[in-house]
Amino acid sequence: MQSFTCPACHARVYFDNLFCACGALLYYEPEAQAMWNQAAPCSNRDSIQCNWAAVPDAALCRSCRMSDMLPALNVGDNQRLLARAERAKRWVLANLANWQWFTDADPGARPRFLMLSEHTGGQRAAQIVMGHAGGQITINVTEADQLIRLQRQHQLGEQYRSMVGHFRHELAHFLFDRLTLADGFSDAFRALFGDERADYAAALQSHYENPAAPGEDHITAYATAHPHEDWAETVAHLLHMVDFTDSFVSAGLDMKTLPADYAPYADDDADHLLSIAAEVAIAINDINRALDNTDLYPFVLTPAIREKMCFAHGWLKRHAARGA
Ligand SMILES: [Zn+2]
Ligand SMILES: [Zn+2]
Ligand SMILES: [Zn+2]
């Protein structure tokens, strides 16, 4: 994530801040990708601490407008969980805006989100399957509870699980549908990831019955299940890497190999970007070990995975403004 300054006092402020230490109000303006001191607030500012400016002549911001369904906020922890989930959604939408996705310059379709909770107020908690279908993304806000999410992470044997990761993964499925409208995408995709027309339900069932190891070709075990999941996992990890590198640079940190004024989202050379990101990850993994914390980024990029990430980067970086 880029760094921001308060226009009133020029102090550094952060993406989620509602106020600056100087007392000024802060509003994130997604089209300008900047913090403002004055704006029409999103009407979810008080209820879920959304600090984005409202879309002109609308009550809600660009992000909150994409949520078609919300959980009952008066039940259990839903209000707090929705606030965390929506914060992760805004983060990922702000990331994707660096490549013009869902900005004013992007004439294509927008995702619709169903933000659901397992706590509906009824007797039994509902089972919610996160996923994407036909432009609609279902998110289980219950996983914004860290304890619950970590339990599931361990049950599923995953190395990493986060709300930001869920949004990156599900939005990748949405972006896939957008990209299939672009000339040449589907053939090039199938040559690298396999044919996504393979039976999805059967593939998922066989994955859960007999999960394959990721091996050299897949970033995670889940990516082995089906070409659609390989794409979503690959894109999510590409977005992880670009964004933690962007945060590294924005924090004013430096490495010998880092070009002057390096801007990760602006780099057209994915191979170069991934090499820098890998170096950042190795350095911060080492810092984390000083506190006996887990690694920042516990994954290894093989040549096959890098090739897929470079493919995804090329298409994602070039195609939003063309209405793909
Ligand atoms: Zn200030
Ligand atoms: Zn909002
Ligand atoms: Zn998926």
- Beta bridge partners of residue 52, listed in sequence order: 28
CA of 145 to the centre of ligand 3 (A): 21
CA of 157 to the centre of ligand 3 (A): 16
Structure confidence at residue 141 (pLDDT): 97
CA of 287 to the centre of ligand 3 (A): 32
Kindly list the protein residues that place their beta carbon closer than 5 angstroms to ligand 2, a single-atom ion: 42, 44, 50, 52, 61, 64
CA of 51 to the centre of ligand 2 (A): 7
CA of 101 to the centre of ligand 1 (A): 29
C-alpha 161/C-alpha 169 separation (Å) is 11
Neighbours of 16 (CB within 10 A): 14
* Token output for 137: 């993304």
C-alpha 211/C-alpha 204 separation (Å) is 9
CA of 193 to the centre of ligand 3 (A): 14
CA of 323 to the centre of ligand 1 (A): 37
Q: Which ligand is nearest to the CA of 37?
A: 1
Q: Which ligand is nearest to the CA of 6?
A: 1
Q: Which ligand is nearest to the CA of 21?
A: 1
pTM over 0.85: yes
CA of 43 to the centre of ligand 1 (A): 23
* 245-280 per-position pLDDT tens digit: 999 999 999 999 999 999 999 999 999 999 999 999
> Domain ranges in the chain?
1-61, 62-322
CA of 15 to the centre of ligand 2 (A): 13
DSSP H or E run through 114: strand 112-116
64, 29, 25: which is closest to 44 by C-alpha?
A: 64
pLDDT per residue, tens digit, the chain (324 aa), is 999 999 999 999 999 999 999 999 999 999 999 999 999 999 999 999 999 999 999 999 999 999 999 999 999 999 999 999 999 999 999 999 999 999 999 999 999 999 999 998 876 667 899 999 999 999 999 999 999 999 999 998 888 999 999 999 999 999 999 999 999 999 999 999 999 999 999 999 999 999 889 999 999 999 999 999 999 999 999 999 999 999 999 999 999 999 999 999 999 999 999 999 999 999 999 999 999 999 999 898 999 999 999 999 999 998 876 655
CA of 231 to the centre of ligand 3 (A): 8
| Cβ proximity of 32 and 97 under 8 Å | no
